[in-house]
Structure 1
Amino acid sequence: MDFFIARQPIFNAHRKLYAYELLYRGTQDATIENINGERATSSLISSAFLTEGLEVISGTRPCFINFTEDLLLKKIPLSIPKNKIVVEILEDVRPTKEIVEACKQLVNQGYTLALDDFVYHKSLEPLIELAEIIKIDFRLTPVDTIHKTLYRLRRFNLKLLAEKVETIEEFSHAIKLGFTYFQGYFFSRPENIRIKELTAAKINMFRLLAEVSLKSTTLEKLHKIISVDISISYKLLRFLNSAYFYRLEKVKTVKHAIAYLGERELRRFILLVLISELSSDKPDELVRMALVRAKFCELLGEASSFSYDSSELFLLGMFSFIDVMLDSPMTQIMEKLPVSPLVKSALNDQSGDYAVFLDIMRFYERKQILQLDMAFREIGVDDSQVPELYLKSLKYANGLF
């Protein structure tokens, strides 16, 4: 049976990627609202660890996975390597003697425990003593309640994780309160909408970005761009020798690399490098998410029963965070980039034929299953194909990183 999984990044205070939470998205025949926690986690583990391999989904990062009371009692976490997961104990798990003993066994064997959607109660203290991470919903929990909770937890050796951090202001506030980890979409909007002066080096990169975005770009022009930039050359060779391509022989020269990739993929690779450099002061995960979106949009376009330009959809996904990367309004950026009117209208004001693809990205990342079903029908995609397409997108992004 096909089913959907997605991942949500968890950052440290420096906005560097710490881990992912793996999220179950329901099946082709049933949405998550109709699936109990035990079945959801069992299906997630089966796909992530037994079917696809964790390296495709999370690379080297640990994964937070929800565990129900029954799964803890059955010692299911012990079937997964301790360095691969953080055992996330759901808020409705009762701190019975049996549960506490099961959690002690996990801790003694080196597993990390996290308490999800934490609301303090004295009865939870046996689990608090075993946990390493406490997750607090930063949006739904009143500020005075957060202060009281932190006061009660001060005697325990814990790290705090703020969930549902949606703005830079909330992120900054959580840091001041002493939180160590952060989960949410605080990086998905520009920190300051302003006309930002670019350095001379970034101006040159932006000009190259415009050149690479042109449909009329030739292989010769791309070769010139690469030949004057050692960094791009190095990254190109490293990418082509990554696990994504499964090559028996290494690509050793730029000329060989260009011949192997061809104009379309080479253009995309240079786009990635330029965008990464332009957003060097932003979380790496932002570029990684843009890559996943780009490939996912492209693959959805190719799988559609309608006629979409998959190359334009790739650009749509790649540029979906560029306003955040440059801290500039999307409309100003789009004025300077030679992309199609369909891409511009989708990015500028979420209108036009391509806007639904941006909706799908957000719905998928945020577990909005009902909206996803409608969107897949709108673009003519059979949702049974989607899990494979998403995993291909993750593999593609992992190869580039």
Structure 2
Amino acid sequence: MDVFLATQPIFDAENRVFGYEILYRENETNTFSEETDADFASGNTLVRCFMDFGLPTLTNNTRAFVNFTTEFIKNEVATLFPKDQLVVEILETVEITGEILDACRKLKAHGYLLAIDDFVYQPGYEKLLPLVDIIKVDFKQSGPAEQAEIIRKYGRPGLSFLAEKVETQEEHDRALKQGYAYFQGYFYARPSINRAKKLTPYSQTRIRLINLLNEPEPDFRQIAGLVETDIAFSYEILRLVNSAYYSPAKPITSISFAISVLGIEELRKWLYIVFISGLQENQPGELVRTSLLRGKVMENLAEAAGRPHQKSTMMTIGMFSLLDVLLERPMAEAIEGLHFPEEIKNALIGSGGEDFLHSCEEVAICYEHGVWQKATQQAGRIGITPQMLQTAYANAVKWMETFYL
């Protein structure tokens, strides 16, 4: 499933990007329906920022301006995000009550920046304004005299003013002359659409499982309990341990027993398989098949090279080597929430690591692309003969035919 957000840059007086306003979008038409509930829009924007995109990605490591409704301010939702990455935009519809003021004081104490969106003075602002860092003034809804009067009347050290919906050179020049510090509007840039793949609840559960399984000393009971909450994965595990491959003496129906039969290494492998397979929506099935086949080839190459201790690492690198393509985001972002060991992260991102890992991956990729000579030459450098390479690939294909979920 695709999810969308729009971003519009906010500039300072030196034409440097200070941050981006994050705007809720239902699709890629780049419009916002006035019928959309404000809490729904703010909630979805925050969830998408956090779970699906990541704030640094959306804002290029600047600040995100996000609309906050009454409920989200009272519940201090902002504290889920780093204080140096977020500006809390208090919507003009928020009634300034004692509860809201207390929440804003707490946010200020934690170091968050507060802004008032579409500023028009209303009762309660006399108590809110001392807490605010930025006042946003709508240049379409206000005239030149009002724009200047707001700065004259409310200006103080530590308070900045942002001219929004600026559409002409004349408006920009006037805002600059009047003392506005930040600028936003069509004159500078229209909102741009950002698209990401939304992970399903099952995918999120499996990420938790992946992280548990990658801990130095995995907690068996915790893992079994989490597996049991994932009906689809539980089914796959029971189907696997009851297959001819494991040949149990009698049918296994207990998840805990099934996990003990598999062991941590095998459980991790099959979790990776169902996780990758679950990302197939809106993607060619061949991408998933290639990921799994590549992982098995690399595992077989590790065995052939006399490195059985690296089989699991090789399988992981191969299976996740196309995760950036499946999720349509850079690899560093795609694996950000997965607690892989550093050697696996480095190999996937391509930022160093053991030569054997990179060489093995290159051999597998060259072979699957039919670049036989290069594959053979690279394999020779890590002690793999042409016959060993052919056998590794043939056995991987046979494995795929038997176990591909």
State TM-score, norm by structure 2: 0.46
- Which of structures 1 and 2 has the bigger CA Rg? 2
